[in-house]
Every structure is written in C-alpha cells, then in structure tokens.
Chain A
Amino acid sequence: MLKLKNRGWLGAVAGGVALLGIAGSPVLAQDAAAPAEKKQEKSQDKKPTAKIGEAAPGFELKDTDGKTVKLSDYKGKVVVLEWFNPECPIVVGHYKMQTMQKTQDQFKGKGVVWLAINSGAPGQQGAGLEKNADARTKWKMAQPVLIDESGTVGRAYGAKTSPHMYVIDAKGTLVYNGAIDDGNGRSEAKTNYAANAIEAALKGETVSPAETRPYGCPVKYGKSGA
C-alpha cells in the first residue's frame, strides 16, 4: 500500500524551485512577528492562536539544512504553510499525485513562499531531520522542511493533520486554514482549496472558503510543554 512509485512524477517538480528564489529576500519589519510570538506562548496548552483575519503567528525554525527561516522574512509575500510528515500515507499520496508540486507550479514566478513544517515529536512517525531531508531529496521538494519538534509552531497555528495548509497574505494576515483540497489523498480532487486561497491572496481578494476541515494523519505532537 505504501510503497512509493517514483517514476513519472519527479521531473515535474523542478519548476517549483523558482518559488524558493525569493528565500533570500531581505528581512522586513519585525513588528508583525513580535506580537504574534507573544500570543503563541500563551497558546501552549489549549487554544490555537491563529485566527482567520488576524496576524499569522510569527516563528523562527531551522530547515533540514540547518538554515534559520523566519516568517517575518517574508513580509510582503504570500506565504503558504504545509504541515508535513513524509511517512504519512496521505502526504505520500499527495506527492505521488503531485498535488503539492502542481499547486506550486501554478504560482511559479508569482513570488509565493512555500514552507513545509514538521511538528512531529522525536521518535514519531516521519519525525526527525534525516527522514525529512531524505524526503526532500526523494521527492525533489522545492520548499524547505522546517523542523518543529517541540510542536510550538504547530500548536500556535492549531495544525491538526499532515497535510494541514495555511495561507498568509502579503500583509501577514492569515487568510486560509484547512485542507489542501476536497479529495482524500488517494484520488484526484475536484477543488484545490489552497490554490484558490493563494490565487485570491495574490489578487488581494477575499478568500472563500477561508476555512475547511483538514484531513490526513494527526500531527504527532509530543507532550505539551515537553
């Protein structure tokens, strides 16, 4: 069931690299990130901080290459967050069907930043630097995978599944929270909610639906506060 068929779909992601061309864009105002980070601390135990129409919680995480990535670095850009677990069969299914790659290709050259985040605790399915670095290579992922083993960022956003998608507009406001699409990771979906949200965010239009129910494997958080 879970074996990967690598043939056929690897070549198609190359275009996605362009998305990361802007990773070096200058650090802009810190103000958007700072207040959100404060809220994030409060959210540890229960309620997610991230709310549609409000500032997206700021974060600073390391990717699988050890490079630090800050959300505040991307102010002025539309940012997509993809909760990731390379061993979740639904994630595997989406990479096989090229859902993520195709969505990235659709916005090639439009300055969209795409960040994958893995909030799995050490030892959990799909967690750890090595597995995520391997997945990036294997799937020729254009986007970095940020490691959030404490689950702090995942909890701040209320990320429940892999893949759970968020779209942040150029002003740093959270405009979409939910599923990648109306499918199930096994067969082609009809509507790509995330793509629609990115499109609307780029045009400065209202995202609808702004919230859908994500599906997939539960994010494998460690104990709260651990």
Chain B
Amino acid sequence: MGRISLLGGLVVAAAATASPLAGGSAVSLDGDVRLRLISENAALVPGQTNWLGVQFDIEKDWHLYWKGQNDSGMPIAVTATLPEGFEAGDLVWPAPKRHALEGDILDHIYETRVVLLLPVKVPAGARPGPVTLKVDAEWMVCKASCMLGDGGAELKTEVGAAGAAARPGRDAKAFAEARERVPKPPLPGALTTEWKGSTLLVTSGKGGTGPGKGRKLSFYPYEDSAPLENITRDAVSDKGMLELKLRKMGPVKGVIEISEPGSSVRPLFYVLEAAPAGSAPDPGGSR
C-alpha cells in the first residue's frame, strides 16, 4: 500500500519561481513520452477549484501505467509546484485499459494519450495577473522493453479578476474527453452486486441509455481492493455479469466499465464499492 500511495501521492510545494521566459506551455521531451500541463479555464478563477490537466502523449505501441492494481510496471507519479496559497487536490485518473502479457501478467495501462486531472484551489485573495504553475512527473514506459522517464511542464496562465465567470480555455475539450473515462457513482440500478461466499457478482442494470444487449463488463481494481483469485479470467465478461472470486475476503473497490463491443454506444464507467456482509466500511472512504 505504502508504495503506491507514495507514487500516487501528490507533494505540493509552495514556490514562487515565475520565470521571466516567454509564455505558452513548455513541452518536455523524454524518450517516448511528451508532457504538457493544460488548464480547463482560460484564466484561473479565484476562490474556486480550477482543473488542470497533466497530459501525456505516448509513442505508438508504448504504454504508461494506471495507479490501481497491476502485476507489473509502475504508476505515473506527479508532483505539482504551485504559487503560494494554491492548493492541489488528489489526481483524478481516467479508467485504464487491460493489458495481458505472457506469464499470466495483467496490467492496467494508458496508450496514445492520457490526461490526469488535477484540481487546484485558487485562493479567493489571489492577485489577478500572470502566474506560472508547474508539474514534474515520473513514469515507466513499456513496449517489449521498459524504460523509466521523467519530465516537467509549466503552464503560464493568469489569475482572472475576482468574481469573473470561468471561461473555457483552448484545451477545454481535452478535459471533456478525459472525463468521459473518469468513473462516476453508479446511477440507481446501473449496477447490482451480490455476495456468494467469497465471490462478488456484479450485474449491469437492464435498460437505460447506455450499452445494452451484448454488454461487456470489465473491472479495474483499485490498489486497496481485496485481491482477486484470478484477475485475468474473472475481471472481464461479455455475459453482462462479473463473478469476482476473491483470494482474500475484503472490500472490493474499483472501476466497472460497461461497453458494447462492435457498437457505437459509448462505454460507461462507474465506481464499484462493495464490502462483504459484516465487514466494517472503510473509514477512510475512497477516492
């Protein structure tokens, strides 16, 4: 546990290193991964949570790692350096893809592009005008081989006037796209769970506007989810129902993707949290 929270955690340092260099977002090149820091709003809104995005463009056929359960690899780690008084929250991770390798190795990865969403609370008293935000990231990138990479990116933007409404910036679309894969609390009836001994049955709801006939369910376990007996076999099903057999009893937490292969219906992503009967709920809550 400690290892992952260390990697997934966010260290926020107050710093005032506004560089006098030219504006625009800096791009770091490191091997096969390009890093950008983007903002949803054209100008940061004081007194509100503004969304930044840490965008990774990944060379074709290579992949980075999600921060949930993986048999191998190493999740992306991000550190933000923000102006004094700005507060970063926890990174929001879009759902990954399953990646199976020889030797029964199952990982959860990102290919091509991923935008990790970073909420930043800008103090109400922030002075309007230019401001520089910075992130540093470390990652393992793999294809047949694996490499470690790191890099940083700066965003030169501005704090808007107090009371001004948020205006979408030129990268706002990337945020909308990333959020399509961010899991949400399930709508009523969207997911049904039932315990059968040490097996959790997860069924997707009937009807609705999402995927229907021939729906496929995938489960991507969070780091602190109880271990599955056989994730390669059990965490994906095209029968509309997952049978998640646990190796050790405990709460099951993660992302459920409901999709309809071969159709143009967009997949849905829900947060799954199911504690076995009699077990105390996690006082720490979840992400």
Contacts and interface: CB of A to CB of B under 8 A. Distances in A.
Contacts of A151: 102-103
B107 interface: yes
A75 B72 CA distance: 30
A191 B2 contact: yes
Contact of B74 (A1, A121, A191, A216): A216
Contacts of B30: 1
| Main SS class of interface, A | loop
B146 A88 contact: yes
Given A216-B74, A218-B71, A89 B102 contact: no
B101 A46 contact: no
A182 B102 contact: no
Interface in A153-202: 154-155, 158-161, 179, 182-186, 189-191
A64 interface: no
Contacts of B71: 160-161, 214, 218
Contacts of B101: 218, 221
A87 B145 contact: yes
A183 B102 contact: no
Interface string B54-93: 0000000000000001011110010000000000000000
A224 interface: yes
Given A1-B31, A89-B148, A186 B73 contact: no
A1 B148 contact: yes
Interface string B26-67: 000011000000000000000000000000000000000000
B232 to A, nearest CB: 8
Contact of A186 (B104, B107, B148, B233): B148
B108 to A, nearest CB: 13
Contact of B105 (A87, A184, A185, A218): A218
B103 A160 contact: yes
B148 A125 contact: no
A155 B107 CA distance: 17
Contacts of B72: 160-161, 214-219
B238 interface: no
Contacts of B273: none
B287 interface: no
A91 B77 CA distance: 19
Question: Which 3 residue pairs are nearest across A and B when measured between Cβ atoms?
Answer: A218-B72, A221-B103, A221-B102
6 contacts: A89-B140, A90-B148, A218-B72, A218-B103, A218-B107, A221-B102
Given A151-B102, A218-B105, A224-B103, 11 more contacts: A1-B31, A1-B147, A160-B71, A160-B103, A184-B7, A189-B3, A217-B72, A218-B72, A218-B146, A219-B105, A222-B102
